[in-house]
Structure 1
């Protein structure tokens, strides 16, 4: 497994500075009784901090958390993960900054999981909630994606091949399904089983935040990490104007289309526009 997977760089890089990022969201409840998805849109990670550290300038954060067996894990992650990340963020610039940021992401996921499980175990009855997590952290021009579970992240990039221009989609996340060989082997070595594509025949994902009752069965909170450099080639359609309404409408249409095609789960779509 490639934990720190880096995407190939585009052939042409012509940046003038850090990108301007804006986040938009659309959601549908589907057939669920309640909305268990939560999301965070922070073009500037320092916004929720009372005394923001100087090293967090040019840092953006966007995330979606898909809850199961309740909304408490996804709500907790949405409220706390970025604060833990800001607290653990590298204090000084160094040659090893890339590795330090990736370690910061891993540590923040682990602490968020530990903190929620501690709170969940203190309740009566014990909370059994869990959630997936897909987080985008952009530091200057480098995008880091950390994900757990089966929520996906995709980057749209314009490629030039001779005189031809085409839009391609690049996967920025890795699905954690218990039927995958590496995931299934880990679960089995921990004493768990995979039946009908689920952990113990119940849980659909092999990594998550929360789900304390499955942690002893090999379900872990370690995310996969990928990174890439954002450039002016990373856009869906350069002919479009940057009108907020069209981006919000696109999110809503995509969420509605997922429900129309038979998705009974909650659906949340985050679109991050990239401008240079």
Structure 2
């Protein structure tokens, strides 16, 4: 889902062959230094031009004997990769895993899926990055599943755990969503209505009708639309909330005028944290007996 214009590709640094004389080597070092500075400056501009992502999570055990959900918040996944491909300057990853039959599968996925993703991530000046990333996500899900099944079958008695997986991967200004099972990812955006007011619209990221379609993305931009946040949650939430109800509940908390101040958090961060916690608690209050895990990803322009 492209949110902004394409970013410039950084200049690539080349290295001098060892047979050059000393003067050539000094000149080459100066040129390399200049190119590295230029590349750093380009990447700095790229980062400053991207929306700031921040994840908030809330988890409730409900009436279950144990918490079988797991989640991962990685606003900056770059440290897991040996290098970033091409002109990419930021990679973020958020995921919810709803375990069943035990917590081992969900925990395994939370600990290993992003590591497998990092290993398979396209590197260098990869052409067709979008196509490669989609294949990378498929291969990552398959690899993580195979690894867990191998480990589970080697136990005595064999583990019978399973898990859903719902992940979003943000590569600069593009959002990729991948899922297995009945956990969901939905996106909230605001756009101008016919009466001049702004309204919120809820989109299921797992469906075809979303901003990955060029015509739909252009329509959103022409209407003055902006993403406000992305919500990931296990089915415990959606047993007592529809997607629209969950988004409206979050918006209601975000728009409240009073919020308890904390020195280490901004007012906006406090609102998202409160919205995340209150949504999970409300699901339990509404009678959900299942585990409930909620992740809110704020998109700040």
Contact 2:78 2:90 in 1 (8 A): no
Q: 1:78 to 1:30 in 2, by over 3 A?
A: same
Greater RCO, 1 or 2 (C-alpha within 8 Å, sep 6+): 1
TM-score where L is the length of structure 1: 0.70
Query: For residues 130 and 161 of structure 2, what CA distance do their matches in structure 1 show?
Result: 33
Query: For residues 113 and 186 of structure 2, what CA distance do their matches in structure 1 show?
Result: 21
- The correspondence of residues 42-81 of structure 1 with structure 2, limited to 5 A, is 42-47=74-79, 49=80, 52-55=82-85, 57-81=89-113
1:242 to partner: Cα distance: 5.1
Contact 2:84 2:124 in 1 (8 A): no
| Match of residue 198 from structure 1 | none
| Match of residue 234 from structure 1 | 227
Per-residue CA distance 1:214-250 (angstroms, 9 max, x = gap)? xxxxxxxxxx9x8737987101669787532221111
CA-based RMSD: 2.8
Gaps of 5+ in 2: 7-47, 230-250, 257-265
The one of 129, 132, 142 equivalent to 2:161 is 129
Q: 1:227 to 1:93 in 2, by over 3 A?
A: farther
Query: For residues 239 and 28 of structure 1, what CA distance do their matches in structure 2 show?
Result: 24
Q: 1:160 to 1:227 in 2, by over 3 A?
A: closer
Query: For residues 82 and 274 of structure 2, what CA distance do their matches in structure 1 show?
Result: 33
1:14 to partner: Cα distance: 7.6
Are 2:205 and 1:172 aligned?
yes
Are 2:299 and 1:274 aligned?
yes
TM-score where L is the length of structure 2: 0.65
| Match of residue 82 from structure 1 | 114
What secondary structure is seen at the aligned counterpart in 2 of 1:114?
A: helix
Are 2:290 and 1:259 aligned?
no
Contact 1:258 1:267 in 2 (8 A): yes
Query: For residues 84 and 134 of structure 1, what CA distance do their matches in structure 2 show?
Result: 15
Contact 1:142 1:227 in 2 (8 A): no
What secondary structure is seen at the aligned counterpart in 1 of 2:228?
A: coil
Per-residue CA distance 1:123-146 (angstroms, 9 max, x = gap)? 000000000010010001000010
- Larger deviation, residues 53-62 vs 164-173: 53-62
What secondary structure is seen at the aligned counterpart in 1 of 2:122?
A: coil
The one of 104, 107, 124 equivalent to 2:136 is 104
Query: For residues 211 and 135 of structure 2, what CA distance do their matches in structure 1 show?
Result: 13
The total of aligned residue pairs comes to 215
| Larger Rg over CA atoms | 2
Instruction: Compare the two structures and name the one with the higher helix fraction.
Output: 2
Q: 1:91 to 1:126 in 2, by over 3 A?
A: same
| Match of residue 17 from structure 1 | 49
What secondary structure is seen at the aligned counterpart in 2 of 1:145?
A: strand
Tell me which stretches of 4 or more aligned residues in structure 1 moved more than 4 Å: 13-16, 229-232, 236-242
Gaps of 5+ in 1: 1-6, 175-223
Query: For residues 5 and 159 of structure 2, what CA distance do their matches in structure 1 show?
Result: 50
